[in-house]
Structure 1
Amino acid sequence: MEGMDDYSRLFNELDSQALIELGLVLGGAILLILLSQKALNWVANRLHGQYRFRVFALVPLARLAILVAAIGMAVPIVIEPSLRNMITLLGAVGLAIGFALRDYVSSLIAGVVAAVEMPYRPGDWVEVEGTYGEVVHVGMRTIEVVTPDDDLVSIPHLKIWDSAIHNANNGGDSLQCVADFHLHPDHDAQRVTEALRDVALTSPYLRFDRPVAVVASEQSWGTHYKVRAYPVDPRQQFRFVTDLTLRGRAVLGRLGARPVQVPVTPGNAAS
C-alpha cells in the first residue's frame, strides 16, 4: 500500500484547465504530424534521385521529434516535476524500455559473439531461415544480405542463438553449386554420367582446381542426378547452374534420356 501511495503522489490532480492543456498538446501534435507529412511528401515528390528518398526518410524522423516534444510538454501537466518524482518516473520508464528492448540488447550481445566466432563475414553467401544471399555488411545489431532478387534483407544477430546459419563459402572463394536432373529410368546410366561430367568440365564458369562430381540416386519415379561443381567466383553461381542445366538438358536429349515429372510428396520434396 505504501508503494501505491508513492506512485499516487506522482500525479497532479487533473482539473479542467489541465485537461484543456493536455487536449491542446495532443491536438497540436496531431496537427503538426499531419502538416509535416504533407509538406515533406510535397517537397519529395518535386525532387529527383537520392534527394527524393532523403526527404522521404525525414517523415518518420519528424513524426518522432513531434511526439517526443509533445510528451515532454504533457509530462509536467500530469506529474509534479520534483526531483523525487522524476527519479521514480525515470526508473519505471527505464524498466519498461529495458523490457521492450530485450531483443535489441540480445542482438547486440549476439553481434559481439558473432564477431568472435565469425559464422559469417562480408562476402559470404549465407542462408538464415529461408533467406539466402551475399553478406554485404555486418553491423552491431544486424547483417545486411543481398538476395539473388537484389533485395536487401536485414537479419538480426540474435538468430545465431536458435537458428541454423548455412554458410556456402565460409570466408573463401570456393562455393559448390548443384545442377539437378530428373530422368526416366529407361536410359544408359553410364553414358548419362559421363555426358553430365563433360558438360561441367566444358563450362566457361568452371573452377578447374576443385572436384567435379556426378551423383545419382534411384527414386520411385526414376533417377535423380546431381552435378556438383565449383564456379570461378561465388557470384557466378547462378549463371553457372543455368549453363549446366541448359547444356545438360540438350546433351541428355541427344542421348535419348527423357526427363520425368517429379511428384511432389513429403518423401522427395527436399531431394
Structure 2
Amino acid sequence: MSAINYQFYLLAQSAGDAAKETAEQTREIVSKITTGKIAQGVFILLAAYLTLKILDKLVLWLSERIAKEWRLRVKQFLPFLRMIVLTTATVVLMNLFLNLSKENILAVTGTVAVALGFAFKDFASSIIAGIVGLFESPYGVGDRIKIGEHYGEVVSYGLRSVQIQTPNDNIVTIPHNKIWTEALSNSNAGALEAQVVTEFYFAHEIDVNLVRKILYRVAQTSKYTALKLPIAVVMTEKPWGSSFKLKAYPLDARDEFIYQTDLTVRAKCAFAKHKLSYPRMFDVENKNIS
C-alpha cells in the first residue's frame, strides 16, 4: 500500500470512528422512541396548551370580578403561571425522550445553547428578556405602556412577547427584546390609577386665575376623579397664546379617554359661560403649538 493510499485509509478510518462515536453519543442521549412515547408527548403538548388557555381565561375572569384595587395584582400572576406550565411541560418531554444523566444534561444544554445562539438569536434574546422582565417588572398585565410608537394596555404577557391593546382596539404584539433597545414608558406601573393630562389653549388676554379655578373645579367634581391623588394645573406662555395642562388621576386607568373627554366637555361649557377667548386662527396656523 502506497503512502498516499495509507493516509487516505487513516483519514477514512478516523471519519468512521468519529461517526460511530457521534452515533453512540446520540443513542446515549436520545431514549428509544416508541408509539406510546409519541402519544404521550402529543398528550402533554395538548394538556399544556389547554392549561394555558384555561389559565388565561380563569385569571382574566377572576380579575374582572373582584375589587378594582386587586384587579391588576391578580393579573400580575398570569406570566408566572404560564412560565410554570411551559417549564413543566418542557421538563416532562425531555424526561420522556432523553436520558437525562448529568453528562447528558450538560451535552444537551451546550448543544441547545449553540443552536439558539446561531439560528434563533432574536428568539432567544426575546425569551431571556421576558424572563428578566418577570423579575424587574418594567411592565405587567394591566399596565398602560408605550414602547416605540405603540401605546396601550398590556393584555397578555407571553414567554417571547407582550401584547398590548391600543386605544383603537388593535392588538399589537411586541417582542420582549425591545426593552434592550427601545424607550419604555409605563403610565401606572401596577397601580389602578394613571395620570391623565388634558390640554387647553387661550388668548393672552384671558383671566389666568379664573381659568385655573375652572379647571381645578372641573377635575374636582368629575365622577371619574380619584380625589385621594393630587390635581394640578400648569400654565406656560406661548407666542400665540396661553397653554394650560390639567393633570389629574381617574379612579381607573382604563377610563383614560372617557375621563379626558368628560373634563374637556365640562371645561368648555364653563369657558363659554365666562366668554373666555381662544387663540386667534391666524396665530395658531403660523405658530407651532407644543
Q: Fold conserved (TM > 0.5)?
A: yes
Q: Which residue of 1 aligns with 2:264?
A: 245
- Higher helix proportion: 2
Q: How does 1:36-75 map to 2 (within 5 A)?
A: none
Q: Which residue of 2 aligns with 1:101?
A: 120
Q: How does 1:11-90 map to 2 (within 5 A)?
A: none
Q: CA RMSD in A?
A: 2.2
C-alpha displacement at 1:98, in angstroms?
Answer: 5.0
Structure 1 counterpart of 2:275, from 236, 252, 256: 256
1:122 aligns with 2:137: no
> Deviations for 1:179-208, whole angstroms, at most 9, x for unmatched residues?
100111111001111011111111111111
C-alpha displacement at 1:101, in angstroms?
Answer: 2.2
Equivalent-residue separation in structure 1 for 2:159 and 2:286 (angstroms): 41
1:222 aligns with 2:241: yes
| SS of match in other structure, 1:240 | helix
- TM-score, normalising length: structure 2: 0.57
Mind listing any 5+ residue stretches in structure 1 that lack a counterpart? Answer: 1-5, 7-90
| SS of match in other structure, 2:154 | strand
Q: Which residue of 2 aligns with 1:162?
A: 181
Q: Which residue of 1 aligns with 2:212?
A: 193
Equivalent-residue separation in structure 2 for 1:112 and 1:149 (angstroms): 29
Output the amino acid matched with 1:155: I
Q: Which residue of 2 aligns with 1:54?
A: none
Same amino acid, percent of matched pairs: 39
1:131 aligns with 2:131: no
| SS of match in other structure, 1:145 | strand
| SS of match in other structure, 1:227 | strand
> Deviations for 1:22-71, whole angstroms, at most 9, x for unmatched residues?
xxxxxxxxxxxxxxxxxxxxxxxxxxxxxxxxxxxxxxxxxxxxxxxxxx
Equivalent-residue separation in structure 2 for 1:245 and 1:134 (angstroms): 23
Q: CA 1:150/1:197 → structure 2, altered by over 3 Å: closer, same or farther?
A: same
Structure 1 counterpart of 2:250, from 208, 213, 231: 231
C-alpha displacement at 1:250, in angstroms?
Answer: 1.6
1:213 aligns with 2:232: yes
Equivalent-residue separation in structure 2 for 1:239 and 1:223 (angstroms): 25
C-alpha displacement at 1:263, in angstroms?
Answer: 4.4
C-alpha displacement at 1:247, in angstroms?
Answer: 1.2
C-alpha displacement at 1:99, in angstroms?
Answer: 3.6
Equivalent-residue separation in structure 2 for 1:151 and 1:250 (angstroms): 33
C-alpha displacement at 1:100, in angstroms?
Answer: 4.5
> Relative to structure 2, which stretch is displaced further, 167-176 or 97-106?
97-106
Equivalent-residue separation in structure 2 for 1:101 and 1:258 (angstroms): 60
* Stretches of 4+ aligned residues off by more than 6 angstroms: none
Output the amino acid matched with 1:118: S
C-alpha displacement at 1:172, in angstroms?
Answer: 0.8
C-alpha displacement at 1:143, in angstroms?
Answer: 0.5
| SS of match in other structure, 1:203 | coil
Equivalent-residue separation in structure 1 for 2:132 and 2:146 (angstroms): 19
Output the amino acid matched with 1:164: A
| SS of match in other structure, 1:247 | helix
**Contact residue 181 and residue 259 of structure 1 kept, 8 A:** no
Equivalent-residue separation in structure 1 for 2:145 and 2:286 (angstroms): 26
- TM-score, normalising length: structure 1: 0.61
Output the amino acid matched with 1:220: P
C-alpha displacement at 1:114, in angstroms?
Answer: 0.7
Output the amino acid matched with 1:182: Y
Q: Which residue of 2 aligns with 1:144?
A: 163
C-alpha displacement at 1:252, in angstroms?
Answer: 1.3
> Deviations for 1:116-164, whole angstroms, at most 9, x for unmatched residues?
1100010100000011111011111100101111111111101110111
Output the amino acid matched with 1:173: L
| SS of match in other structure, 2:251 | coil
Q: CA 1:247/1:264 → structure 2, altered by over 3 Å: closer, same or farther?
A: farther
Equivalent-residue separation in structure 2 for 1:186 and 1:176 (angstroms): 29
